[in-house]
């Protein structure tokens, strides 16, 4: 009996698969992007598109895993503002229970907000579970 050899993949097919798997932009992708940018520039010049305000540069927060993560200081959500306001009004500091009673937020959400505010330097821990 003769055994058939499997056809090997072509070099081009291997390269295409590699590019797709690792999401590497090709020359065609760059050309399409350049065309879109040029079209937007023309529309901006002609006044058909309103100018877009640049996004604020994010500050960097280093997580527990050592990875830097951008954090927008200007766009602090309302829950964070509430927690920060409660902490500022308490002279001896606010505990998790105090914050939870005032805001009605969940335990996990409050802990995340406290962690973020502490890392940003907006609050400090005076002792375990008490924030100022």
Give buried/exposed letters for 31-68 (b at 16+ CB in 10 A, else e).
eeeeeeeeeeeeeeeeeeeeeeeeeeeeeeeeeeeeee
pLDDT tens digits, residue range 51-95? Answer: 555 554 445 555 556 665 555 545 456 888 888 888 888 878 888
- Residue 53 within a domain: no
Q: Which helix (H) or strand (E) holds 80?
A: helix 78-89
Q: The domain containing residue 39 runs over which residues?
A: 11-46
The answer to whether residue 6 sits within a structural domain is: no
pTM for the model: 0.43
pLDDT digits (tens, 9 = 90+) for 29-58: 888 989 988 888 888 887 765 555 555 444
81 and 117, same domain (yes or no): yes
Instruction: Domain count for the chain, please give it.
Output: 2
Residues 71, 117, single domain; the answer is yes
> What is the per-residue pLDDT for 122?
83
Residues 16 and 79 in one domain: no
Asked whether residue 41 falls in the same domain as residue 63, the answer is no
């Amino acid at each position: 009996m003769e055994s058939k050899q499997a056809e090997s993949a072509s070099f081009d097919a291997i390269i295409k698969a590699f590019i797709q798997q690792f999401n590497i932009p090709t020359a065609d992708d760059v050309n399409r992007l350049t065309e879109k940018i040029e079209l937007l520039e023309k529309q901006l010049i002609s006044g058909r598109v309103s100018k877009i305000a640049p996004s604020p540069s994010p500050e960097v927060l280093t997580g527990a895993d050592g990875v830097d993560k951008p954090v927008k200081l200007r766009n602090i959500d309302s829950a964070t503002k509430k927690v920060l306001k409660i902490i500022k009004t308490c002279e001896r500091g606010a505990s998790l229970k105090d914050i939870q009673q005032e805001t009605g937020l969940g335990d996990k959400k409050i802990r995340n907000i406290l962690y973020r505010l502490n890392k940003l330097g907006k609050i400090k821990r005076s002792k375990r579970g008490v924030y100022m």
